[in-house]
Amino acid sequence: MQSDSVQLVECSSSSHNRPPSPTDIRWPLSAKSAQMFKWHFLFLFLAFSVVLLCWVLYVNACDDFMFQFKNDSSENSSDDYAFPTKPVILMWTSVFGQNSLKLGPGCPFFDQCFFTYQRRALAHADAVVYHVPDIKWTSDERPDFPEQILMPANVRNVFLTQENPSALRDYHHAEKLRKAAPSFFHWTMTYLRSSDFLMPYGGFWISPEETLRLGFSDKIMRGAVWFVSNCRTESKRELAVDALSKHMLINIGGKCAKTEQGKRLCPRNATSCDHVFSAHYFFIAAENDICKDYVTEKYWDRYHLPSVPIVMRKHIYEGIVPNNSFIAMDQFESPKAMADHLNFLMDNPDEYLKYFEWRAQNWSIAPWNHRDFLMAQCALCERLLRNRNQSSLTKPITLNAVEWFERNSKCEGDKFANQWANGK
């Protein structure tokens, strides 16, 4: 029988007298160990890839935003920092002391323009926006505007206000700007529908396919309610309301309340006074001046409530709010004639409810990104993008923004109130 062969391995003399160490032995990996090693390697590779991707995204983001985090005390030029290649919108002023105006995610061009309040961005700005009430003035009555030599050649200066002309005069800005900056601004951003960029107080109405009719609460107070803090106005609304109150009940609250009961209508610590408006058949929504397209929060903050707004001039609201959703003083020849009609409505619910029928006609507030109503700063971004895509850009045309604003606002002052209040 042939015996199994045995292969002998000769050991060197240096290792002949010692036991074998782990390095002398080749340890085979089990299948389980090999599988674990494979998964560990895959995990490390994926982790490294994620970290690398995040770093690349971070560096790209810094290219657009690095200058925003630059230390204001640094003496280095802003040119040392990366500025965005997208259009830059610089807010030269705050808005009533707040840096609140910005591009929001509702804007279709949210990530296509760079919006900043940092003045170091001036040399890179495509548009510079000035909120008129926040413009600072030097001791020699010059506006705090940037030096012309520091501004890009085709930059657009934007005139921004939501105040009416008489309110701007109260700020003492209108006359000073008229003289100091007769040809400084290029574009306008106001509540006027003829503005380059429309910036109304609330929105405008559209008719979408679906909407729900709002319910109405039972009235517990006859007459109208008026919350008012400005007791002496350009429109003399206080004169018109006083004349109307001689023929019907009007509860006045706020700083201009004439009774202790009126002062308690809506306490300062109240979170909302909507219930007070809802309890009345009507509420006064008269503005401090009668100007084209000037419809403020006096309407927009309460349009949804089950109460009918009373305004001064019908033509101001036509084309902005639904027809028959308000009652205008100038629809009646006198305060008494109007009071007779309002008292009739309160005594005849079916007639009163006709002023709410528009809600059953599928009216709704247009969203901010509606094709006809991009919020003003979003529309500004769109215009700048369009300009950049043009092969050649003509030199910006300037205008006297104050004169344009006053001319197009067509404010009527107190003429209507004086005539109407004296009607029989």
Residues 259 and 235 in one domain: yes
Answer yes or no: do 179 and 156 share one domain.
Answer: yes
Model pLDDT, residue 79: 39
Residue 318: strand, helix, or coil = strand
The answer to whether residues 347 and 249 belong to one domain is: yes
What's the confidence (pLDDT) of residue 373? Answer: 46
Instruction: List the domain range (segments joined by +) for residue 160.
Output: 83-203+396-409
Per-position b or e across 194-229, b if 16+ CB within 10 A of its CB: ebbbbbbebbbbeeeeeeeeeeeeebeeebbbbbbe
Does any domain span residue 374? no
Identify whether 178 is part of a domain.
yes
Is the confidence at residue 11, as pLDDT, over 50?
A: no
* pLDDT band of 271, cuts 50, 70, 90: low
* Residue 154 · residue 125 · CB < 8 Å: no
Looking at residue 12, its pLDDT comes to: 44
pLDDT band at 158 (very low <50, low <70, confident <90, very high): very high
Considering the domain boundaries, does residue 307 fall inside one? yes
Could you tell me if 251 and 303 lie in one domain? yes
Mean pLDDT to the nearest integer, 44-73: 55
CATH number of the domain enclosing 277: 3.40.50.11660
Q: How confident is the model at residue 172 (pLDDT cuts 50, 70, 90)?
A: low
Mean pLDDT of 378-382: 88
Question: Rounded mean pLDDT of 144-161?
Answer: 89
- Residue 34 within any structural domain of the chain: no
Alpha-carbon 321 to chain mean position: 20
Give the single-character DSSP code of 98: B
- Let me know if residue 415 belongs to a domain: no
3-class state of residue 327 by DSSP:
strand
* Lowest mean pLDDT across 36-45, 209-218, 274-283, 386-395: 209-218
Residue 247, in any domain of the structure: yes
Position 367 scores a pLDDT of 54
Same domain membership, residue 222 and residue 342: yes
**Cα–Cα distance list, 175 to 166, 179, 248 (Å):** 11, 6, 41
How is 230-263 classified by DSSP, letter by letter? --S-TT-HHHHHHHHHTTS-EEEESTT-SSHHHH
The percentage of residues in the chain with a pLDDT greater than 90, rounded to a whole number, is 32
Q: What is the pLDDT of residue 9?
A: 41
Residue 234 lies in a domain: yes
- List the single range of 24-33, 80-89, 197-206, 307-316 with lowest mean pLDDT: 24-33
pLDDT given at position 399: 86
- Please check whether residues 354 and 401 belong to one and the same domain: no
Q: What is the pLDDT of residue 68?
A: 41
Q: What is the pLDDT of residue 311?
A: 97
241 and 150, same structural domain? no
Q: Are 160 and 260 in the same domain?
A: no
Q: What is the pLDDT of residue 395?
A: 66
- The answer to whether residues 188 and 119 belong to one domain is yes
Least confidently predicted of 61-70, 100-109, 154-163:
61-70
- Same domain flag for 88 and 113: yes
Same domain, 353 and 230: yes
Average pLDDT, the chain: 77
How much is the pLDDT for 300? 86
Count, residues in the chain: 424
From 14-18, 132-136, 154-158, the region with the lowest mean pLDDT: 14-18
**Mean pLDDT (whole number) for 407-412:** 94
Cβ atoms of 282 and 248 closer than 8 Å: no
Residue 107: both structure tokens together: 């804007």
242 has pLDDT over 50: yes
Q: Is the pLDDT of residue 48 over 90?
A: no
Least confident interval from 3-12, 152-161, 241-250: 3-12
Please give the tally of structural domains in the chain: 2
Do 230 and 358 lie in one domain? The reply is: yes
Q: Once rounded to an integer, what is the mean pLDDT over residues 178-204?
A: 84
Radius of gyration of the chain (CA): 35
User: Would you say the pTM of this structure is higher than 0.85?
Assistant: no
Query: What does the pLDDT read at residue 32?
Result: 59
Q: Does some domain include residue 188? A: yes
Check residues 143 and 16 and name the one with the higher pLDDT: 143
